[in-house]
């Protein structure tokens, strides 16, 4: 399967599960001395041409506005793919916590402590904090914004995103007693 088809397959799954709405979110995969990222404003389930962004140097103007975060992840970590989504339970719970500790078995196994960082979307400040959290981890939430998962493949990044949202949803639902 070529890259674009794989982006589309994962984008469709992210949308069908309610992990992104509208044209929220973006995704990338490491590619040589840079990475391929979704276009600015693209719908993840209908990706148009992907944009190559080098690790150093000028960035094409049509790259996703979150390219700084993706670039820092590829500079600072070993991850080969990054998936960014806006799952509603993860976003809501991030408003009140600095670190999320899942109580369901998948969360406990795959992301036992999910850090929450601050910073304006698209900023270098946020990019550095999130990338730093992904050095030793696989998932981070930018407060009030969304999840970033680092993985070997887009599929793995999507699975992690799904786990984070499931864990946050279970945490919130378990408050209703």
Binding mask 34-73 for a second copy (x = CB under 8 A): ----------------------------------------
Q: In this structure, is the dihedral angle defined by the CA atoms of residues 90, 93, 96 and 102, taken in order, positive or negative?
A: negative
Cα angle vertex 109, ends 103, 111, to 5°? 80
CB of 97 to a second copy, least distance (A): 10
Rounded least distance, CB 152 to a second copy, Å? 13
Contact pattern from residue 151 through residue 170 relative to a second copy, giving x for each residue in contact according to CB under 8 A and a dash for the rest: -------xx--xx-xx--xx
Instruction: Report how far apart, in Å, the C-alpha atoms of 150 and of each of 61, 103, 147 are.
Output: 24, 21, 10
Of 30 and 84, the one with the shorter C-beta distance to a second copy is 84
Shortest Cβ 35–a second copy spacing (Å): 23
The helix-helix angle for 124-133 and 67-76 (nearest 10°) equals 40
**92 part of the interface to a second copy, by CB under 8 A:** yes
């Amino acid at each position: 399967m070529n890259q674009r088809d794989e982006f589309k397959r994962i984008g469709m799954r992210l949308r069908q599960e309610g992990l992104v709405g509208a044209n929220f979110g973006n995704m990338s995969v490491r590619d040589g001395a840079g990475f391929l990222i979704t276009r600015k404003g693209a719908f993840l389930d209908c990706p148009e041409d992907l944009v190559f962004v080098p690790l150093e140097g000028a960035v094409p103007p049509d790259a996703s506005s979150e390219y700084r975060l993706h670039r820092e992840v590829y500079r600072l970590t070993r991850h080969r793919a990054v998936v960014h989504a806006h799952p509603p339970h993860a976003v809501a719970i991030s408003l009140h916590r600095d670190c999320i500790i899942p109580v369901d078995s998948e969360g406990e196994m795959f992301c036992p402590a999910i850090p929450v960082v601050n910073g304006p979307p698209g900023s270098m400040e946020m990019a550095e904090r999130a990338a730093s959290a992904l050095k030793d981890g696989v998932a981070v939430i930018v407060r009030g914004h969304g999840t970033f998962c680092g993985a070997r493949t887009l599929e793995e990044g999507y699975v992690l995103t799904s786990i984070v949202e499931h864990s946050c949803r279970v945490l919130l639902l378990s408050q209703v007693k």
